[in-house]
């Protein structure tokens, strides 16, 4: 009998089709060597980076380390490490990266065994004997380049997810900055209100002292009324502080009851001098635009992949036919030698209308994504213009308040105090001047917060931090042309209509 040799040949064929596999000692699952898959560009390495503070080398601070006044960068680092939306986007990237080895691998081989248990009606061969079973093993191979294109499409999906991760990081950073500026404005307003309350109490004591010497009761009542108004304003300001802390705590993934505080001094960046540079910078920096470009590149590969369906898939198979003398019709003449066979098969792509529709679908999706890129770019330019204008206006208003209005109000208050001490002016004049100074000081704190929020939104629209380095073009960039995105017109010119002939 030659059955052992046939079984050896069968084992060799199985090893060739499936590939060299090793068993992972930790999981007990086979690990197929990557050389069986076609060469596909590796997915981009994913790391959580902060657009403002760079890579976080140290682990994020714990909740105990966030107590007390903290700089903005500390909260940003915590948000990038603990924000759940950012983490979800990160794991989405990791999930899509695992799709590449799946789509580039071959389909599982098919094994089939046909058993003939009744010898009298089973296949009988006078020279070979009784055939109890046939073992078949087959493997399908897609048309050349199909698995490579599948991998490239999956790789583009990973890159789109990376762009979404970067967008989630920018959203978290922007939300932290806006909440930080609101919280800082609330704390500054609380300090200003507390200082003014002390001054009003001082004036109230003076009015009471003068009341004993024949002063006016109205001065005491006016001071008490203003103190009550300050208390009412302080209550509303405390509500705004609590709301800002809750918004900040949400981005940091900490309890809303956490005592988050800002630094006493807040450094604000200057508004960029020109807006054209911001438009150019957003084209290459904003992750939404980069994600749209990756989607267009993915769709172009998907068109090529759809065309591959016009070609057949190849199936190679091996058949092992067992033969025995036992139960054979002529056992004396039967040799009982097993037989082997090889077969080749392929599908027939005859329903070409279906495949043409698939190509047209991929082409239309590519045009749609190109249009979405242009819409995203228009939206980006509109946001940049809006936030740039807001920042410029807030910066001008802040300069007017700090350089002109506040000094005049303080000078008026000083004059009113002097005249009141000399008894040439009543307390109402002093309190009116004091209220004006209070209102201007609160406006400055609020305008500073609005300026910081406008700059944060402007950087979010551009897609990166705006500073002197990013805005000053290098000598190589000065003569370079503004990068132009692929437009839908170019795609429609190349593929103006769905393909009709293949």
Q: What SS3 state is found at 232?
A: helix
The answer, yes or no, to whether residue 421 has pLDDT greater than 80, is no
Structure confidence at residue 352 as a pLDDT band (50, 70, 90): very high
Helices (H) and strands (E) in the chain, counts: 14, 12
Structure confidence at residue 67 as a pLDDT band (50, 70, 90): confident
Tell me the percentage of the chain whose pLDDT exceeds 90.
58
The answer, yes or no, to whether residue 285 has pLDDT greater than 90, is yes
List of domains in the chain: 37-106+142-312+347-494 (1.20.1600.10)
- Tell me how far CA of residue 408 lies from CA of 189, 269, 416, in angstroms: 20, 26, 12
The answer, yes or no, to whether residue 483 has pLDDT greater than 50, is no
Structure confidence at residue 44 as a pLDDT band (50, 70, 90): very low
The answer, yes or no, to whether residue 266 has pLDDT greater than 70, is yes
Q: Which two tokens stand for residue 284?
A: 């290459």
The answer, yes or no, to whether residue 411 has pLDDT greater than 70, is yes
Structure confidence at residue 297 as a pLDDT band (50, 70, 90): very high
Q: What pLDDT is recorded for position 63?
A: 62
Distance CA 451, CA 444 (A): 10
Half-sphere exposure (CA, 13 Å, Cβ side) for 344?
Answer: 2
Tell me which residue of 83, 86, 85 sits closest to 254, measured CA to CA.
83
Q: Whole-number mean pLDDT of the chain?
A: 81
Q: Other C-beta atoms within 10 Å of 68: how many?
A: 9
Structure confidence at residue 28 as a pLDDT band (50, 70, 90): very low
The answer, yes or no, to whether residue 362 has pLDDT greater than 80, is yes
- Tell me how far CA of residue 415 lies from CA of 12, 149, 216, 406, 434, in angstroms: 103, 80, 21, 14, 11
For the ranges 43-57, 188-202, 413-427, the one whose mean pLDDT is highest:
188-202
Distance CA 307, CA 405 (A): 70
pTM above 0.85, yes or no: no
Distance CA 68, CA 226 (A): 32
Helices (H), 22-145: 72-82, 84-97, 100-103
Q: What pLDDT is recorded for position 146?
A: 95
DSSP assignment string, 74-102: HHHHHHHHH-HHHHHHHHHHHHHHTTHHH
Distance CA 406, CA 397 (A): 12
Lowest mean pLDDT among 24-38, 184-198, 424-438: 24-38
Those residues whose C-beta lies under 8 Å from the C-beta of residue 212, and which sit 6 or more positions away, are none
Mean pLDDT, range 398-402, rounded to an integer: 94
pLDDT: which is higher, 473 or 167: 167
Distance CA 16, CA 39 (A): 19
């Amino acid at each position: 009998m030659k059955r052992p040799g046939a079984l050896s040949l069968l084992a060799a064929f199985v090893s060739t089709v499936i590939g060299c596999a090793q068993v992972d000692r930790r999981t007990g699952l086979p690990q197929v060597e990557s050389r069986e898959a076609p060469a596909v560009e590796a997915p981009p390495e994913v790391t959580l980076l902060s657009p403002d503070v760079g890579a976080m080398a140290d682990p994020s601070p714990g909740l105990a380390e966030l107590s007390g006044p903290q700089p903005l960068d500390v909260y940003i680092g915590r948000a990038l490490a603990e924000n759940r939306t950012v983490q979800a986007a990160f794991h989405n990237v990791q999930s899509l990266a695992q799709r590449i080895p799946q789509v580039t691998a071959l389909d599982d081989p098919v094994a089939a065994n046909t058993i003939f248990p009744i010898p009298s009606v089973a296949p009988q061969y006078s020279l070979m004997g009784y055939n109890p079973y046939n073992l078949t093993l087959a493997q399908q191979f897609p048309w050349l380049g199909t698995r490579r294109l599948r991998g490239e499409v999956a790789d583009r999906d990973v890159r789109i997810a990376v762009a979404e991760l970067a967008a989630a990081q920018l959203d978290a950073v922007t939300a932290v900055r806006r909440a930080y500026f609101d919280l800082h404005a609330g704390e500054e307003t609380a300090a200003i209100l507390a200082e003014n309350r002390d001054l009003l109490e001082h004036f109230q004591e003076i009015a009471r002292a003068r009341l004993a010497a024949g002063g006016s009761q109205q001065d005491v009542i006016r001071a008490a009324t203003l103190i009550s108004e300050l208390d009412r304003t302080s209550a509303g300001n405390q509500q705004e502080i609590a709301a800002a802390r809750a918004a900040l705590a949400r981005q940091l993934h900490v309890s809303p009851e956490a005592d988050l505080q800002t630094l006493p001094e807040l450094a604000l960046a200057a508004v960029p001098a020109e807006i054209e540079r911001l438009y150019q910078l957003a084209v290459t920096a904003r992750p939404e635009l980069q994600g749209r470009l990756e989607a267009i590149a993915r769709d172009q590969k998907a068109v090529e992949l759809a065309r591959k369906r016009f070609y057949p898939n190849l199936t190679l198979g091996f058949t092992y036919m067992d033969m025995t003398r036992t139960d054979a019709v002529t056992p004396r003449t039967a040799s009982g030698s097993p037989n082997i066979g090889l077969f080749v098969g392929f599908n027939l792509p005859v329903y070409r209308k279906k495949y043409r529709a698939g190509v047209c679908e991929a082409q239309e999706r590519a045009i749609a994504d190109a249009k979405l890129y242009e819409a995203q770019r228009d939206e980006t330019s509109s946001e940049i213009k809006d936030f740039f204008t807001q920042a410029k206006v807030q910066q001008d208003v802040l300069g007017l308040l700090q350089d002109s209005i506040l000094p005049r109000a303080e000078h008026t208050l000083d004059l009113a105090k002097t005249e009141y001490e000399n008894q040439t002016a009543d307390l109402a004049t002093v309190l009116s001047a004091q209220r004006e100074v209070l209102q201007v000081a609160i406006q400055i704190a609020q305008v500073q917060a609005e300026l910081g929020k406008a700059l944060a939104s402007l950087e979010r629209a551009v897609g990166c931090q705006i500073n002197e380095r990013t805005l000053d073009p290098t000598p190589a960039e000065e003569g370079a042309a503004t990068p132009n995105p692929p437009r839908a017109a170019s795609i429609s010119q190349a593929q103006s209509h769905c393909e009709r002939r293949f």
